[in-house]
Structure 1
């Protein structure tokens, strides 16, 4: 079972890139972030023609998350993160696919920091951590994946000294990520590649992709019930070099068995 996460940075504008990548790599499950499309503008038919069922949680101009499954039923469990009924931002969707609970998330950026956007990010992190703890009590395979907008360690960022005041790298944000992982989650990429430089995002400016001046902000967290099935993981880095592509590369894991 191959599961991928991909911040598409606009699902309609990047649709040719997304469809090409789906055709070339054929993941079983895909979590998308930053759809930047209202609910009625999601390209469902094009996705279906590519062989994928889909559920999505859209929002005009901003945010938006989706889960795709190739020739497989998707049972939606939740849309929206619990803990704040007044939060209208489309950042979380959760489904059951082939016996695995998959939470697709797009964590707030938090900049400029300090300020209300950082406060919202930290509050959202608290809600995610509370919900994640609840998921662990169910004793079922769970995967939390998406754009966390966090570089957990200095290994995950090019020239970390330049990012010390950024909301993606501030100590309180990294501490929130560590607090989440310490519940018992496995960081899939770091488990398989504990010391390697691996990035999932390269800015459009200053030839960041060409210089490999990147960040690792897209993550897979695996519950104990599924972490033992982890076979391989990687980043489809070359997709970042395609024409009219997202500033993220698709990240994927492979699980053994059904």
Structure 2
């Protein structure tokens, strides 16, 4: 079973990139972030023609998350992260797909920091951590997948000294990620590439892609019941070099069948 995450940075503007990658990579489950499209503008027909069922939580201009399943319709189990009924940002959607509970998330960026956006990020992270503990308590196969907007360690960022005050790398955010993982989650990409400098995002500015000046922002976290099935994980970094590419590359993992 191949599960992937891909921040598409505007699904309609980059639909050709997404469809090309789906045809090449043939993932079984895909979590998408930054749809940047309202609910009624999701390209459901094109996705279905590519062989995927989908659920999505859209939002005009910003945010937006979706789960695609090859040859199946994801069974939606949650829309929106619990813990704040007044939070209207489309950042979390969850579904059961082929015996695995998939949580697709787009954690807030948080810049500028300090400030209200950074406070919102930390509160969202707290809500995620509380809910993640509830998921683990069920002792079922769970994957929390998406753009976490955090580089957990210095290995995950090009020239870390330049990012010390950024909301993606501040100590509070890195600690929040470490606290989350410490509940019992496995960071799939890091598990398969210990000690390796590996990135999932390259900015459009300053020739970041050409210089490989990247960040690891997109993560695949597995519950213990799923971590034992982990076989491989990597980044389809070549996709970042395609025409009209997102600034993120797809990240994927293979799980042996249960």
Structure 2 residue runs without a partner (length 5+): none
Does 1:225 find its partner at 2:214?
A: no
Partner of 1:94: 94
SS at match of 2:105: strand
- Structure 1 residue 72: deviation in Å? 1.9
After superposition, the C-alpha distances for 1:8-54 in whole angstroms (9 at most, x for unaligned) are 00000000000000011110000000000000000000000000000
Structure 1 residue ranges (4+ consecutive) displaced by more than 2 angstroms after TM superposition? none
Which runs of structure 2 are paired with 1:140-151 in the superposition (5 Å)? 140-151=140-151
Q: How far, CA to CA, are the matches of 1:99 and 1:214 in structure 2?
A: 34
Does 1:171 find its partner at 2:163?
A: no
Which runs of structure 2 are paired with 1:1-258 in the superposition (5 Å)? 1-258=1-258
Q: How far, CA to CA, are the matches of 2:72 and 2:47 in structure 1?
A: 13
Cα RMSD for the two superposed structures: 0.5
SS at match of 1:68: strand
- Structure 1 residue 191: deviation in Å? 0.7
TM-score by length of 1: 0.99
Is the Cα contact below 8 Å between 2:111 and 2:166 reproduced in 1? yes
- Structure 1 residue 74: deviation in Å? 1.2
TM-score by length of 2: 0.99
Structure 1 residue runs without a partner (length 5+): none
Q: How far, CA to CA, are the matches of 1:205 and 1:22 in structure 2?
A: 27
SS at match of 1:101: strand
Q: How far, CA to CA, are the matches of 2:173 and 2:74 in structure 1?
A: 32
Aligned length: 258
Q: How far, CA to CA, are the matches of 1:54 and 1:256 in structure 2?
A: 23
- Structure 1 residue 73: deviation in Å? 3.1
